[in-house]
């Protein structure tokens, strides 16, 4: 039977290529992770094991896709930045988003046991994904600043909330205590009532995770006498650093290069 009779259906596949010359940001987010984290007994408000697993999956995305320049993650989400001039998969949104999501999710499952030993995976982790285009460098920086400010706000609130709940308050009482409080008041509450100095909490919790490629010495083989042979490689590396300030961008100027 001649296949040409059916070929017209291809016309229904619409072009979904992302605007040329713009930064592409793909943000992925865990589906129903409030429930997922309960089910797996994640430490509240931050479980380092789960965050490290997220960071490792993001590194694998950078390993797999050279066009991803930078990633930023917090909680159950990660944003991946592709260069303005990338031609990865003809900039087709569905192709890029679906591949990044499946790369991340597959790694999340395969690396789970290494990061949460003794905690069986009891449900299927899933991530949604979307691609957004940003025309200006300043838009991209504002986007990333928005996510990092969100990390800080959420972390500070959640640290207070769970300290109050762990001390015996009900969730409703804890919410009422925190309603309308400013940053300084939350820090005071943590220090005065729980002896927690917010500034001393892990940077990963306060700032989220930034993944960039960095020159790293790695062992490529061993000589017969057992001494290691080291070579420089550009490897994805996780940093817990401030990406709102200018210093990060001047220190890593190549990230914003065309
Ligand atoms: P959808 O994304 O809309 O499907 O819902 P969601 O339940 O995933 O909520 P959302 O993405 O807005 O928020 C992420 C949720 O993941 C948080 O509310 C937390 O409950 C949970 N979560 C993420 N990381 C941790 C963690 O380290 N510890 C704990 N206890 N919970 C976490
Ligand atoms: Mg989620």
Is residue 112 within 8 Å of 50, Cβ to Cβ? Answer: no
Mean pLDDT of 81-96: 97
Kindly state whether residue 120 falls inside one of the protein's structural domains. yes
Per-residue confidence band for 258, with pLDDT thresholds at 50, 70 and 90: confident
Kindly state whether residue 195 falls inside one of the protein's structural domains. no
The CB of 29 under 6 Å from ligand 1? The reply is yes
Kindly state whether residue 227 falls inside one of the protein's structural domains. no
CA of 134 to the centre of ligand 2 (A): 23
| Helix, strand, coil percent values for the chain (each to nearest 5) | 50, 20, 30
The CB of 129 under 6 Å from ligand 1? The reply is no
Orientation angle between helical segments 137-166 and 183-194, nearest 10 degrees: 30
Kindly state whether residue 226 falls inside one of the protein's structural domains. no
Taking 70 as the threshold, does the pLDDT of residue 1 lie above it? no
State how far the Cα of 171 lies from the Cα of 162, in Å rounded to an integer. 8
Kindly state whether residue 46 falls inside one of the protein's structural domains. yes
Query: Dihedral of CA 174/178/183/188: which sign?
Result: negative
What is the CATH number for 48?
A: 3.30.70.3000
Nearest-CA neighbor of 229 among 221, 239, 241, 238?
221
Kindly state whether residue 196 falls inside one of the protein's structural domains. no
Ligand 1 atom at shortest distance from the alpha carbon of 48: 27
Total number of domains in the chain: 1
CA of 154 to the centre of ligand 2 (A): 13
* Nearest CA, atom 2, ligand 1: 31
Kindly state whether residue 243 falls inside one of the protein's structural domains. no
Kindly state whether residue 225 falls inside one of the protein's structural domains. no
- Show the domain range for 41: 11-144+203-207
Per-residue confidence band for 16, with pLDDT thresholds at 50, 70 and 90: very high
The CB of 31 under 6 Å from ligand 1? The reply is yes
Tokens (6 digits) for 129 = 């994904």
Per-residue confidence band for 2, with pLDDT thresholds at 50, 70 and 90: confident
Question: Which pLDDT tens digit goes with each residue over 135-182?
Answer: 999 999 999 999 999 999 999 999 999 999 999 999 999 999 999 999
The CB of 30 under 6 Å from ligand 1? The reply is yes
């Amino acid at each position: 039977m001649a296949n040409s009779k059916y070929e017209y259906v291809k016309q229904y596949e619409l072009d979904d290529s992302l605007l040329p010359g713009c930064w592409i940001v793909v943000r992925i987010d865990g589906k129903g992770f409030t429930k997922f984290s309960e089910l797996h007994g994640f430490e509240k408000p931050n479980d380092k094991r789960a965050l490290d697993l997220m960071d490792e999956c993001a590194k694998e995305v950078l390993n797999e896709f050279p066009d991803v320049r930078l990633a930023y993650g917090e909680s159950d989400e990660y944003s991946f930045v592709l260069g303005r001039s990338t031609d990865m998969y003809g900039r087709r949104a569905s192709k890029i988003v679906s591949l990044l999501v499946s790369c991340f999710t597959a790694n999340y499952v395969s690396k789970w046991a290494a990061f949460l030993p003794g905690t069986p995976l009891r449900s299927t982790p899933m991530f949604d994904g979307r691609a957004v285009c940003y025309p200006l460098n300043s838009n991209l920086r504002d986007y990333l600043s928005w996510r990092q400010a969100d990390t800080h706000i959420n972390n500070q609130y959640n640290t207070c909330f769970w300290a109050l709940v762990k001390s015996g308050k009900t969730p409703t009482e804890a919410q009422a205590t925190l309603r309308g409080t400013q940053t300084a008041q939350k820090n005071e509450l943590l220090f005065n009532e729980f002896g927690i100095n917010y500034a001393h909490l892990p940077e990963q919790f306060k700032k989220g995770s930034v993944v960039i490629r960095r020159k790293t010495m790695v062992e490529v083989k061993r000589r017969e006498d057992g001494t290691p042979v080291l070579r420089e490689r550009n490897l994805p590396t996780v940093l817990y650093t401030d990406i709102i300030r200018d210093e990060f961008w001047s220190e890593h100027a190549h990230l914003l290069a065309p």
